[in-house]
Amino acid sequence: MADYKIENFDRTTLQFKVTTKLRELILKGEFKMGERLMQEEWAEKLGVSRMPIRDALRQLELEGLVRIEPRKGAIVTPISEEDIKEIYQLRALLEGEAIVKSVPYLEQHDLEKLDSLYNQMIELNADSKDVKEYLSLNAEFHKVLRSGCPWRRTQGFIDTLWKGIPSYTPSVLPNHLEEAHKEHRLMVEYAIARDADKLKEVTVNHILRTRDELIKMVTSNEEVNN
């Protein structure tokens, strides 16, 4: 039986670690579609109380990875290849357009913030504490890039897409950060140069590369578990 115990945790990051572990197990195909996640069982397996399990399941419901039903609890609804294609293709289309609209309105402080966020990200390691910080910085980085876009409906659609799995993809993809750092550096340089077309191109490629990596991980895990 696999040992899932979470050890040496800081209570302020406990829910994040629990959520990350359950998300990783779902994405790696450790559960079947429709399988129930029992709070008591997973509290024991992870060596934690029921509260962080409950809070983690609520977060995973927002991401579409579980469905919480009355009297049944959390039911696993793994993300499919088509789900990934839809989410990331929509992100590529909408964020690409938002960036083109955003560039003329980015101010000097926005460009300085992008550079600062990039420098903070490259200083982080791949351990769980730094990954949490990276996820926050990465989301803020992408938000600043499109912050000048005046199309509020487009901004709203993008925010909705970010509420799912995209915010947490770096935490489950191995060797993702090295390539992401290169792409983020280019994004900063093109933003500073006010080159909207190049910025759109590298951002779209960044999103679609992430899509392809996530699909590869999910499908390979399905093959292993079948």
Query: How is 5-43 classified by DSSP, letter by letter?
Result: ---S--GGGHHHHHHHHHHHHHHTT-S-TT-EE-HHHHH
Contact by Cβ (8 Å): 50, 56: no
In this predicted structure, what is the pLDDT of residue 175? 79
Q: Pick from 198, 209, 221, 216: which is nearest to 99 by CA?
A: 198
More confident residue, 24 or 226: 24
Q: Which residues pair with 66 in a beta bridge?
A: 76
C-alpha pair distances (Å), 42 with each of 24, 153, 183, 197: 14, 40, 37, 48
Q: Which residues pair with 74 in a beta bridge?
A: 37, 68
Q: Which residues of 98-118 are buried (b: 16+ CB within 10 A; e: fewer)?
A: bbbbbbeebeeebbebbeebb
Residue 100 pLDDT greater than 90, yes or no: yes
Contact by Cβ (8 Å): 142, 98: no
In this predicted structure, what is the pLDDT of residue 10? 59
Token couple for 13:
């990051």
Q: What percent of the chain has pLDDT over 70?
A: 90
CB-CB neighbours of 75 under 10 Å: 16
Which pairs with CB-CB distance under 8 Å and at least 24 residues apart come from 91-94? Answer: 91/158, 91/161, 91/162, 91/166, 91/207, 92/204, 92/207, 92/208, 92/211, 94/154, 94/157, 94/158, 94/161
- Given the DSSP bridges, would you call strands 66-69 and 73-76 parallel, antiparallel or unpaired? antiparallel
Q: Pick from 11, 9, 41: which is nearest to 25 by CA?
A: 41
Contact by Cβ (8 Å): 66, 72: no
Of 82-86, 196-200, 222-226, the one with minimum mean pLDDT is 222-226
Residue 164 pLDDT greater than 90, yes or no: no
In this predicted structure, what is the pLDDT of residue 131? 84
What pLDDT band is residue 28 in, cutting at 50, 70 and 90?
A: confident
The whole-model pTM stands at 0.82
